[in-house]
Each structure stands twice: as structure tokens, then as C-alpha cells.
Amino acid sequence: MCTTRARRRGSGSRCPRTRASRSRSRSRAPERAFPGRQRATQQAGASEVLRRDWARRLGVWHLAAVQIAKVGVIAALGLSVAAACGGAGGGSTSVETAPATAAGSTAAISAGDSASVAGAVVSPASSTSAPAASEASLAYAEPGPYPVGVVELTGGEVPITVFYPALDGSAEGQPLATYDLRDWLPPDEALKVAGLPDFTMAAYEGLPPADPDGGPYPLVLFSHGLAGYRLQSTFLTTHLASWGFVVAAVEHPYRNLTAVFGDLAAFADQLGADDSPDVAQLLGAIDLVAAATAAPAGPLAGLAVDVDHVGAVGHSLGGFAVFAAARDPRITSYVAFAFPVGGSFVEPTTPPTTSGAPPPEKPSLLVAGSADVIAPVPRVDAAYAALPEPKRLAILDGMTHLGFTDICELNAPGEPNVLDAASQAGVAVPPIVNAVFADGCDPKHTAAREVWPALDQLTTAHLRATLGVDDEWVGFDETALEMSFPGLQFTLSEAP
């Protein structure tokens, strides 16, 4: 039975926009391991009219592209203006030293604290302890019990960055991993923005994997949006890893940021198609991770990962990618952010698929923003109605298309956003990037940093429930969300 609930929150923000380390006033996250698979600013000068006009043009452009390709679905757009871990050119990951402790030595950020470094929210690593039952519904907005390791796998068709639960205590004294925004720009354009800072992730490069006795740890695939990159949502991928998921963030080179600096027509006929490279690239990540963990040596050797019950998360066009990939029997459930954008998916008599095949019979969670122009709420509502049960839908008031990414928070508060900084430096930003970027970073909309904890809560709860970690969904109710996220308004629907 479907129920709809809405709540108006009071003022306030859960995530302070500050570089300084700050202690959270709420109770810390419950720190529960996985015991043996237990069941438990648009561009300066751009107007609102221009923003909406470009969003409309983008929708028309996508529809035309898909019609030419005889495809009935257009998936949502995504955007990134940053670099992947190690960069598109295959460079190595850079690192930034963690804040020093009172004793003067570097250490993992203590549990219950958070820090903002180079514009990034850095989640704490923490030790393991069990939560009180009454706290469980509020738990997953906070970082989990595991320090987070990060490595890059390059042995497959495309680069993959893996975030994984690491051995307790292994982050102490280690530097935080970063990536360089310029690695994703064409070389001549990257030279124009030499002053852009690296982005710091809440992860540590190459930590030893978590104790296999706590596993197997569920595998989750992540798919970025158009003009995106595999690290566009590290606020989420690192968070999931802290809760014991192994997250494989997959690169889609034919539609990433580097690609949109080239000829859009070169990949127009592949957008939204069931046989687009996205699905093969996502499913290929399963085999690549399995091989890396089974190897006798290597950064992931010995990591106990479950590759038979896999979750998938995608943003915008990546939301369509995980929807299509979910037909594979290994995909157990999926989460789609800001999806879809148009086409037959939203026609009530047409199944949400390009091929006419029925949608995957898998548990799903759709999350939308009420201020999203590219993937407006009525289309998301129609997509939700077409999906089989069990399913859930969360609409966040004031959230935009890029609120599901790190993009609007790449620079420190008070500094120009990344797109403005690039434009001011003379970077030849493609019109499609200008247009999509406008759907996200306007100060009048809800700041992404304020929404991230809610996305962490919803996504983590969905994956834990559907991948067999929790016995049931927790936190998908007005009371828990009201207590956790004052200042935000939610509209929730579910057909469990």
C-alpha cells in the first residue's frame, strides 16, 4: 500500500560550512560491523530564464538524439567539473596530511568529529561499538565504524575507483587521499586553472582491508552522470564504505567530463540505450573487484566481498545505467538519483525501458529534488509509478540536480564555485556544462552540504535492508527524518 507523507522542518543546518574541525552535537553514529552476513551559482551573469531555457534545450537535444538512435528513453543528465582519482590520464592519487592531534602526530579524524578540507567534508573514522536499538533509525546519516580505504583498479575496460572498509585503526597517522580537478580537463585548458585546489576525500589510500571475519562485505556499483566522473559523489561513496560496503565507482569515458569538451554527437546515439557501454562497464566492475580480492597480493587481496548480491547507485544518466544493469541477476537492488529526464519512461502506458522489456523486478529507491529542472518531480513521479514493488521515493524540497554530487562544494565557502573559477581563468567551458551546472549551485537553493546527510541516511538504509544486512528498512519515516534533519522538507512515498 502506498503512503505519502510530508513534513516542514524548522531552520537549521546539520553540516556547518566551515573549514575548521567541528564536533557534532548529536549522538555519534552507532558503529555496527557486519557480523558474518548477519540479517540486519550558476555561471556569473547567467539569468534564471537562461538556466531554464538551456535545461529545456538539453531535454530536446536528448530526445532528438534518442529518436535518431530509435531509443525510447532519455535518462537524466549529470555534471562534473572535477578529476577522477589518479586522473583521466592515469596519474597517481595525491594525498593531503590529516589534521595533527594534540600530541602533534597525524591521525585519523576522531569519531564524532568532521572537518572541511579544501572544500570537502571529511567524515571521521571510528571504532566499533554497537548502537542502542532506539538509535538505529537515526544511525546512517553519520559515518559508520570503518576507516575507508581507496584504490584505483585499471585492469579492466575502464578505470574503477574502489572505496572499501579498512582494518580498524589502520588510518591512524595516514594522509587523506585527494584528487586534482585539472586531470579531467583537456591539457591546454588545465593549464589555465593551475590555482585550483585538490579535493580531499574522506578516505585513505591503500589501507589494509577490513577483517574478513566481519564480511562478506556487500559490493555496490556507482555510475556517474553525463559530463560527470567517477568521484563526483565521494560524500556518498566514502560514507557507504564506512558502513561496510565495497563501492566500485565506474568511469564512463564516452560521456564523462573530458568527452563533453569534444563532439557531443559522437556519443548521442548511445545515450539511454539498453546496449550502451554503461551496462557492460558496470557489470565488468563486478568481475574486476572479484579478481582483485581473490589475488594473492595487491591492495584488495583478502577483502571478503559479496559479488553475488550487488547494489547499484546512479545519478542522472547514471540512474538509467543502474536501472538497466539491474536486469542482471547479480544486481539485487538499486538507487537512482535525479532520474529520468523524458522519453517513453514517463508515458503511463509504456514500461520504463528502451527495449520495451519490463522494468527489473528489484527493490528500488528513487530520490529527487523539488528544484531540479533537468529531472523535474512530475517525471520522477511517473517513473516511480511505473516501477514494480517494493519501491520507495523521496523528494527533497529545494534540492537541485547537482545536490547529489560534491560539485557545488568543491571550493571553500566564500570562494567562487569551480565553474566560475574556470570561466574567469579563460577555460572554454562547453555550453552544456554551463547549462547543467546552473541546475545546482544557486545560493537560493538548498545547499548540497545540508542535504548530503539525508542522502547518506536514505541510501545506506536502503542498501542495508535490501542486501541482507538489516532485517528491515529503518529511518524511512517522518519521525526519524524530522529528528535527524531539521530545516529540510521531505515527501516520502513507499510501496513495500
**Domain around 172:** 3-495
Indicate the SS3 state at residue 455: helix
Question: 222: which strand partners?
Answer: 249, 313
Q: Which cell goes with 289?
A: 573487484
Residue (of 219, 416, 482, 185) closest to 328 by Cα position: 219
Decide if 323 contacts 360 (C-beta within 8 A).
yes
What is the Rg, in whole angstroms, of the alpha carbon atoms belonging to the chain?
A: 21
Q: Which residue has the cell 548502537?
A: 131
pLDDT of residue 113: 35
Give per-10-residue mean pLDDT for the chain (496 aa): 35 29 31 35 34 39 33 32 34 37 29 34 40 57 97 91 98 94 83 82 98 96 93 97 99 88 67 75 97 96 96 95 95 94 39 60 97 92 94 94 89 71 81 74 85 95 96 84 84 94
Cα–Cα–Cα angle for 371, 374, 380, rounded to 5 degrees = 75
Residue type at 251 in one-letter notation: E
Distance between CA 371 and CA 377 in Å, rounded? 8
Q: Per residue in 183-194, is it b (16+ CB within 10 Å) or e — as a string? A: bbbeeebbebbe
**At CA 490, angle to CA 395 and CA 312, rounded to 5?**
45
Region for residue 401 given its phi and psi (left: phi exceeds 0; alpha: psi -120 to 50; beta: otherwise): alpha
Residues 249-270: pLDDT tens digits?
Answer: 999 998 888 888 877 666 666 6
| 3-class DSSP assignment, residue 42 | coil
What pLDDT sits at residue 271?
61
Q: How does DSSP classify residue 487?
A: T
pTM of the predicted structure, to 2 decimals = 0.74
CATH of the domain at 19: 3.40.50.1820
Domain total for the chain? 1
pLDDT for 87 = 36
Residues 403 and 451 sit within 8 Å (Cβ to Cβ)? yes
Beta strands of 30-75 (E only): which ranges?
Answer: 73-74
pLDDT score for 495: 96
d(CA 465, CA 353): 26
| Cα 458 versus chain centre, distance | 12
